[in-house]
């Protein structure tokens, strides 16, 4: 079912400003980008993280990462090209270790999020949430200079898409988690 989400698109541009929301970063110090940093700005109001996260048909209370099938939740596209994870490459521990969430200099894992360890944390107006995703070298090469579009399609929520732009200011940046 399609919804008119034109107002949501405007809000997404504020939360994910095209030139300030996506970065390729070097977390090892070897001079080569190995991760994607997605930055979201809280432009709405202060938000308190609840003990359980519920969105559409998703609930962190009932979520079992060991039975997680990414295909059940939606599809991700970059510039109309699907981003897929081959089933033979899918490993729960590997996926868990490839995602970190940063808020005010503190890092959290997926396990922290699912366990409710972020419950009660306040995301103040103006704060940023940063998500670091380790990506294989062949995947990081898809993030080139220029304008791009990230699309998420799911039966749980309306289709989400936002534009981002990569240039010398957000490509292959040295990663400093203490600054997040």
Domain ranges for the chain = 6-50+66-171
- CA angle, corner 144, sides to 138 and 146, nearest 5? 160
Cβ burial of 70 (10 Å; 0-12, 13-18, 19+) is middle
Q: Which H helix or E strand runs over 14? A: helix 6-15
pTM beyond 0.85: the answer is no
The predicted pLDDT at position 160 comes to 76
66 pLDDT band, cuts 50/70/90, is low
* Model pLDDT, residue 29: 92
Question: Within 10 A of 137 (CB to CB), how many other CB atoms are there?
Answer: 9
Higher pLDDT, 143 or 8: 143
């Amino acid at each position: 079912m399609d919804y008119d989400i034109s107002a949501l698109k405007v809000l997404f541009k504020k939360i994910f400003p095209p030139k300030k929301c996506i970065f390729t970063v070097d977390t090892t110090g070897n001079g080569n980008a190995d991760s994607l940093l997605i930055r979201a700005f809280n432009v709405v109001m202060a938000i308190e993280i609840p003990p359980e996260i519920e969105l559409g048909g998703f609930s962190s209370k009932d979520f079992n990462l060991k039975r997680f099938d990414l295909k059940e939740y939606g599809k991700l596209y970059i510039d109309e090209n699907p981003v897929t994870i081959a089933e033979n490459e899918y490993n729960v521990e590997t996926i868990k270790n490839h995602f970190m969430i940063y808020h005010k200099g503190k890092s959290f894992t997926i396990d922290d999020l699912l366990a409710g360890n972020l419950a009660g944390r306040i995301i103040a107006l103006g704060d940023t949430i940063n998500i670091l995703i380790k990506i294989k070298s062949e995947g990081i090469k898809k993030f080139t200079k220029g304008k791009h579009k990230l699309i998420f399609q799911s039966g749980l929520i309306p289709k989400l898409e936002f534009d981002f732009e990569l240039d010398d200011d957000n490509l292959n940046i040295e990663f400093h988690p203490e600054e997040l």
